[in-house]
Amino acid sequence: MKFLNIPFVLPEHHANEKLPLHTIDHEPWNPAKNSSCNAAFSISHFNAGIHLKFSVTEPFLRVRTRRVNGEVHKDNCVEFFIAFGADGGYYNFEFNCLGSVKAAYGKGRLHRKFLSPQLLKVVEDNICISMDNLSAEKAIRWEISITLPVSVFNYHTGNTLSGQHCLVNFAKCGDNLPSPHFLSWVPMQGDKPDFHQPAAFGRVIFEPNPVLTLA
């Protein structure tokens, strides 16, 4: 099982912090392992929220979904899954390359409960898209930075992350792209693409605030 320590970084320091990049490179539903997409992420927390940054390079750009809780997985899409506690429930957050979000909570793929558009207004994102004209593939590079305040995890109590142990996964997909792909941070199994496998998620610990630890 994969494991990560999620560092504590204050929001005002995040832009200058050099966080490690973790590749999203497992292709469980592509035996040839020849996806033309490269994806990676960095993650930190500031006790009252999680900061994510996804970096993607791929040859195609498709954006059809703009509404909240729409079918963003059909566009250029990144995904974050997180489970708190041992109740079997987990959240999934999906973003296309324009920042349109779909988010839900539940104990499996079926019968998930969408988070309300009003609640999702607290989620912040910042996007950068560029075209690499120097390569033969004319690759499109895009990045999305996401801030998830703890208030968005509305099925769980508590307003701090420091010291918490959770299960997570990170994914990249594009169901309706000219070359569909399904990349995962952790290895997964199954006959068809399905990221909703909490038993396969990796483990993380949110590191304590070092200032409070030393106090």
pLDDT digit string (tens) for 188-209? 999 999 999 999 999 999 999 8
pLDDT of residue 48: 96
DSSP state of 207: P
pLDDT of residue 195: 98
Q: Confirm whether pTM is higher than 0.85.
A: yes
49: CATH: 2.60.40.1190
User: Which tens digits make up the pLDDT trace of 65-93?
Assistant: 999 999 999 999 999 999 998 889 999 99
Residues lower than pLDDT 70 in the chain: 133-138, 211-215
pLDDT of residue 212: 57
By residue range, what is the domain housing residue 112? 3-214
Q: What is the 3-state secondary structure (H, E, C) of 12-57?
A: HHHCCCCCCCEECCECCCCCCCCCCCEEEEEEEECCCEEEEEEEEE
- For the chain, how many structural domains are there in total? 1
pLDDT of residue 135: 57
